[in-house]
Structure 1
Amino acid sequence: MFKQTAGEKLIEQLIEWGVDHIYGMPGDSINSIIEPLRKAKDKIKFIQVRHEEAGALAAAAYAKLTGKLGVCTAIAGPGAIHLLNGLYDAKLDKAPVLAITGQVETDLMGTDYFQEVNLDRLFDDVAVYNQRIMSAEQLPAVVNQAIRTAYAKKGVAVLTIPDDIPRFEVGKEARITTNFTVKQELAPQKDDLNKAKVLIEQAERPVILAGNGVHGERETLLAFAEKIGAPVVLTLPGKGVIPDKHPYCLGGLGLIGTKPSYEAMQEADFLLMIGTSFPFTGFLPEHAKTIQIDIDPTQIGKRVPVDVGLAGDAGATLRWLTEQISRKEDREFLEKNQERMNKWWEKLEKQEADESEPIKPQHLVRALQQVAPDDAVMSVDVGNVTVWMARHFHMTNQSFVISSWLATLGCGLPGAIAGKIAFPDRQVFAVCGDGGFGMMMADFVTAVKYDLPMVVVVMNNHKIAMIKFEQEVMGNAEFGTDLHNPDFSKYADACGGVGYRVERSEDLLPSLQKAVLQNKPCIVDVVIDVEEAPMPGKIQFSQAVGYTKHMVKELFQEGKLDLPPL
């Protein structure tokens, strides 16, 4: 009778759970897993990345985009350590991810053997489930428990497997458990709902702050907003919950946000936070009555005091409230904010229409908007590029993925790789700064190798520009922010893709139009204005003072400012 090895059982279970691809690099301590993976290549694909961090970031992005389990693998020691950044991204953005790491053989553990690292301790903080497998019989039940926990807790599960375990046979004494997860509908208590109903109907200047937890509930949210006459402000992870140019949308909040959203928050007497644990509390109203809706009770009241907490599913909770509350007839506050938003759009449109050179990043985003289909996947990196995309790219039905809470540089390209694997028939963009792309650029070869047509747009200003701006706002002269970049378009050609270098405004749109028609991965390397600062929608006095101090320092250092005679 044929007996499976533990390695074969592991791959079989992943397939049963619906996993169809794994990101990783092969190596000595996982070769006993790679071999059964090779045998099952018609059912589950191995995506060989050039750096394990890219694999973990791609797994996290895949989970964010699809809600399905992202899976990555690495050897013991250095490979496992490289996974950490992407796994923390998944943890903080609440994405279900499974990491499978190798370990030295069981009889060598504790001997300070080659590449031995205490992986149990290493992954303890990042994981919602963290288990070392010590026998073939233990493996089937632990695999199911790991995946079930990753889904249920929306987090990272880590399985550490010593190199000898996958080669052992799984005997009949192995524990058999269930290989599926179940969902539940969570609803707030009726008393809390009734308290919320009273507060909502008393509100005169209501504002809604919608986050990641409202994705998929667009019509429900808009029906509620219309009923109470409330404008909707979006967190960065919530971008795309409703279209950016919808009459009820005031855009983002905070340093990447809009002036109308800031003003609405300052004037609000009622705030409804839905599916968000917004950390930048200085942008929230100080004296407004506040209700928070979140599926996780531990998030309610975590950032600011709330008057009512509604622990439950955002969609179901909003539907109940919409049915129960009376329609607010006074639309003065809503209309006031709509007028502000119209003026804001006019201001942004002037910036986006600026065809001067060096190319303005706002103008680049407008050109990108013209070539991005309604169902495109937009994987956005971290830095100034986040500001330009959050503020100037008008989401309709596109998918938007970013490293929200960890805000790690380098997430753009791995996110695009995951996006193309998840949605092979959709146009995929990685929108990166030169700093972020430089971190993960080796995996552009991965996109070429696996025939993943995508467009990587690099905002190239030879600068870690967001840090330059932060230093200047502090009143400091910039330091350590210069980058020495290659010609990224030539790099694309060298990798087997297609590259375009754009230095003139007149070449921008034509280059993007050519790129989206290519059947290969492309890089559009756009040289942008390094002096274009990502000023917040509402500038604080302290920021203006700091920036003035910086300018004075710069002038002194360059000898352009003479001291008055004594």
Structure 2
Amino acid sequence: MFRASAGDYMMDILLDWGVDHIYGMPGDSINTLIESIRKVKDQINFIQVRHEEAGALAAAAYAKLTGKLGVCMGIAGPGAIHLLNGLYDAKLDKAPVLAIVGQVETDLMGTDFFQEIDLANLFKDVAVYSQMVMSAEQLPAVLNQAIRTAYDKKGVSVLIIPDDIPKFEVERHARQTSSFYVQSNILPQEKDVKQAIEILNEAKRPVILAGKGARGASESLLTFAEKMKAPIVLSLPGKGVIPDEHPYCLGGLGLIGTKPATVAMEEADALIMVGTSFPFTGFLPENAKTIHLDKDPSQIGKRYAVDVGLAGDSLQTLNSLITLVENHNDGSFLEDCQENLKEWRQKLHEQEQDDSIPIKPQRVIRALQEVADDDAILSVDVGNVTVWMARHFNMTNQKFVISSWLATLGCGLPGAIAGSIAYPDKQVFAICGDGGFQMMMNDFVTAVKYDLPLVAIVLNNHKIAMIKFEQEVMGNAEFVTDLHNPNFAQYADICGGIGYRVEQPEDLLPALKKAISAKKPCIIDVIVDANEAPLPAKITFGQVSGYARHMLKELFQEGTIHKPPL
């Protein structure tokens, strides 16, 4: 009977699942698997990253962007540990990812050998499926189960493979299982739909809060909103579910959201949550009747008290509600919300036109809006840059990827690398702050090595600016938020890419256009105003009070004021 090594058989199974690339670094404890990957290098591309964290973040971003399995790889010990941050990002954002992790050879396990750590416990919390492979015959079935579980549970599966296992031969059909998974069709119970319809028909000021679970149901969401005369507010992961400039869209909610969205929530008498488990419940209505629609029943009512739960697919459940709910003829509440939005957008427009030097970050986002294609890929890092993109970039059909629940700095560049690999014919932008970009900037050379024509826009203010603002709002003096930055444009040139440094507002558009037309990895280093605070859409008294205390501390410098002698 035909026999193949377990490592070679593993590549066949990955190909059956449609895997065409893996992010990782070669090294001890995965050298045997690397040899199997080399044999199929024309079918599975090994993307050599410079840090395993970048590989895991890229795998997570690839899964978020495409819905396909992201795959990353690391050695035992340090490589495995480095993977964790990106894997937690995938876990919290419910992205299907497979992590292939090496281990010392089986006869060395338990001897405290070089780079041996307790991998099973290391990945225990992050993984929906984690398994140590102990025989060649076990590997095919376990690999299928790991991938199937990652897809079904929308999470991280980890395979820990001692380096000797892939060398062993395995019968071609040993423990043969299927390399596919079957999705179920989830619909809410009739009694729950009936209760929801009663609330919807009585609502006078309904508001919809839509998250990423509403993707794929945009038309039905809008039809439902039109029938209800209900404005739509979007969570950050849900940005782009409907176009930002649609008349029913009020933008985001929370500290990075819009004032019209906040006001609408305060006035709502009915809230319909669609595909979101929104965590910042202080921004949700206090007395509104609430309907929560989610495919995962465990998310319904998890963070916020609801009156009715609809466990079902967003598209089909919304279509059912559309056929049953009465037409709402009174559009006065919606019209008030739209008028508030019109005033809000005028203020945003004024900020975007500001010609000040240093450049206002809002001006940078407006310039990006002018050059970005309708189907561009936008990988957004964490920090003040998240606020500017959430408020000032109006999504149409672009794809938007971010670390939403973990909110980890450094996700912007790996996400753009994944975007370039997933969509080689589309514009791909990484929009980063200087702090976030520096965390993963070493992997810009990865973009150069694989000739990925991404454009990294760095908002350079020599600050960890969001933390500076948080310290000030707390009433504290700013401390340890200054950054010492290199010239990122020169860094791009040194790496073999192209760099542009922008210090004048009028140079923004020319630099962006040159970077896009170059079709090479580029960095645009934009010097922006460090004192442009990402003020909340609606400022509370506590925030004003805290900022006043901060100003006093800055003025008097803590410890320099002494009580006068009695």
TM-score (norm 2): 0.98
Contact 1:99 1:158 in 2 (8 A): yes
Shift of 1:563: 10
**Residues in 1 aligned to 2:185 and 2:191: alpha-carbon distance in whole angstroms:** 18
Shift of 1:108: 0.7
Residue 117 of structure 2 is aligned to residue 117 of structure 1? yes
Which residue pairs with 1:324 in the alignment? 324
Contact 2:461 2:527 in 1 (8 A): yes
Contact 2:209 2:274 in 1 (8 A): yes
* Residue identity opposite 1:385 in structure 2: V
Q: Deviation digits for residues 253-295 of structure 1, max 9, x if unmatched?
A: 0000000000000000000011000000000001000000000
Q: Deviation digits for residues 352-396 of structure 1, max 9, x if unmatched?
A: 000111100001110111111110000000000000000111101
Which residue pairs with 1:203 in the alignment? 203
Contact 1:137 1:173 in 2 (8 A): no
Which residue pairs with 1:394 in the alignment? 394
Which residue pairs with 2:137 in the alignment? 137
Which residue pairs with 1:81 in the alignment? 81
Contact 2:4 2:172 in 1 (8 A): no
* Residue identity opposite 2:54 in structure 1: A
Shift of 1:324: 1.0
Contact 1:72 1:98 in 2 (8 A): yes
Residue 234 of structure 2 is aligned to residue 234 of structure 1? yes
**Residues in 2 aligned to 1:13 and 1:500: alpha-carbon distance in whole angstroms:** 44
Which residue pairs with 1:516 in the alignment? 516
**Residues in 1 aligned to 2:283 and 2:230: alpha-carbon distance in whole angstroms:** 18
Which residue pairs with 2:17 in the alignment? 17
Which residue pairs with 2:179 in the alignment? 179
Which residue pairs with 1:311 in the alignment? 311
* Residue identity opposite 1:209 in structure 2: L
Which residue pairs with 2:357 in the alignment? 357
Q: Deviation digits for residues 306-354 of structure 1, max 9, x if unmatched?
A: 1100001011100000011111000010000000000000010000000
| Count of residue correspondences | 566
Which residue pairs with 1:153 in the alignment? 153
Contact 2:240 2:395 in 1 (8 A): yes
Contact 1:212 1:275 in 2 (8 A): yes
* Residue identity opposite 2:276 in structure 1: T
Which residue pairs with 1:417 in the alignment? 417
Which residue pairs with 2:440 in the alignment? 440
Q: How does 1:362-377 map to 2 (within 5 A)?
A: 362-377=362-377
Contact 2:3 2:172 in 1 (8 A): no
Q: How does 1:456-475 map to 2 (within 5 A)?
A: 456-475=456-475
Q: Deviation digits for residues 460-515 of structure 1, max 9, x if unmatched?
A: 00000000000000000011111000000000000000000001112111111111
Q: How does 1:273-312 map to 2 (within 5 A)?
A: 273-312=273-312
Shift of 1:171: 2.7
Q: Deviation digits for residues 389-436 of structure 1, max 9, x if unmatched?
A: 001111011000000000000000000000010000000000000000
Contact 1:62 1:418 in 2 (8 A): yes
**Residues in 1 aligned to 2:28 and 2:89: alpha-carbon distance in whole angstroms:** 27
* Residue identity opposite 1:205 in structure 2: R
* Residue identity opposite 1:357 in structure 2: I
Shift of 1:174: 2.0
Contact 1:353 1:363 in 2 (8 A): yes
Q: How does 1:158-173 map to 2 (within 5 A)?
A: 158-171=158-171
Q: What value does the CA root-mean-square deviation take over the aligned residues?
A: 1.5
Q: Deviation digits for residues 92-132 of structure 1, max 9, x if unmatched?
A: 00000000000001111111000001100100100000000
* Residue identity opposite 2:366 in structure 1: R
Residue 64 of structure 2 is aligned to residue 64 of structure 1? yes
- 3-state DSSP of counterpart to 1:401: strand
**Residues in 1 aligned to 2:361 and 2:499: alpha-carbon distance in whole angstroms:** 19
Q: Deviation digits for residues 61-118 of structure 1, max 9, x if unmatched?
A: 0000000000000001100110000000000000000000000011111110000011
Contact 1:556 1:562 in 2 (8 A): no
Contact 1:290 1:307 in 2 (8 A): yes
Shift of 1:3: 1.6
* Residue identity opposite 2:556 in structure 1: F
Between stretches 2-11 and 218-227, larger displacement belongs to: 2-11
- 3-state DSSP of counterpart to 2:81: helix
Q: How does 1:489-508 map to 2 (within 5 A)?
A: 489-508=489-508
Contact 1:227 1:326 in 2 (8 A): yes
**Residues in 1 aligned to 2:221 and 2:565: alpha-carbon distance in whole angstroms:** 64
Which residue pairs with 1:530 in the alignment? 530
- 3-state DSSP of counterpart to 2:29: helix
Shift of 1:183: 1.1
* Residue identity opposite 1:478 in structure 2: E
Contact 2:2 2:172 in 1 (8 A): no
**Residues in 2 aligned to 1:11 and 1:61: alpha-carbon distance in whole angstroms:** 22
**Residues in 1 aligned to 2:187 and 2:37: alpha-carbon distance in whole angstroms:** 42
Shift of 1:565: 12
Shift of 1:50: 0.2
**Residues in 2 aligned to 1:293 and 1:519: alpha-carbon distance in whole angstroms:** 43
**Residues in 2 aligned to 1:484 and 1:28: alpha-carbon distance in whole angstroms:** 35
Which residue pairs with 1:267 in the alignment? 267
- 3-state DSSP of counterpart to 1:28: coil
Which residue pairs with 2:345 in the alignment? 345
TM-score (norm 1): 0.98
* Residue identity opposite 2:79 in structure 1: G
**Residues in 2 aligned to 1:380 and 1:165: alpha-carbon distance in whole angstroms:** 39
Between stretches 307-316 and 556-565, larger displacement belongs to: 556-565
Shift of 1:519: 1.5
Shift of 1:557: 1.9
Which residue pairs with 1:549 in the alignment? 549
Moved over 6 A (4+): 558-566
Which residue pairs with 1:43 in the alignment? 43
**Residues in 1 aligned to 2:496 and 2:545: alpha-carbon distance in whole angstroms:** 49
* Residue identity opposite 1:386 in structure 2: T
Which residue pairs with 2:383 in the alignment? 383
- 3-state DSSP of counterpart to 1:500: strand
Q: Deviation digits for residues 217-248 of structure 1, max 9, x if unmatched?
A: 11110000000000000000000001111100
* Residue identity opposite 1:62 in structure 2: Y
* Residue identity opposite 2:100 in structure 1: I
Q: Which runs of 5+ in 2 are unaligned?
A: none
* Residue identity opposite 2:202 in structure 1: Q
**Residues in 1 aligned to 2:371 and 2:172: alpha-carbon distance in whole angstroms:** 57
- 3-state DSSP of counterpart to 1:515: helix
Between stretches 332-341 and 210-219, larger displacement belongs to: 210-219
Contact 2:268 2:285 in 1 (8 A): yes
Q: Deviation digits for residues 132-174 of structure 1, max 9, x if unmatched?
A: 0000000000000000000000000000000100000003672
* Residue identity opposite 1:424 in structure 2: P
* Residue identity opposite 1:220 in structure 2: S
Contact 1:357 1:505 in 2 (8 A): yes
**Residues in 2 aligned to 1:374 and 1:173: alpha-carbon distance in whole angstroms:** 47
**Residues in 1 aligned to 2:101 and 2:559: alpha-carbon distance in whole angstroms:** 57
Contact 2:447 2:521 in 1 (8 A): yes
**Residues in 1 aligned to 2:43 and 2:363: alpha-carbon distance in whole angstroms:** 44
Aligned-pair identity (%): 71
* Residue identity opposite 2:557 in structure 1: Q
Which residue pairs with 1:220 in the alignment? 220
* Residue identity opposite 2:204 in structure 1: E
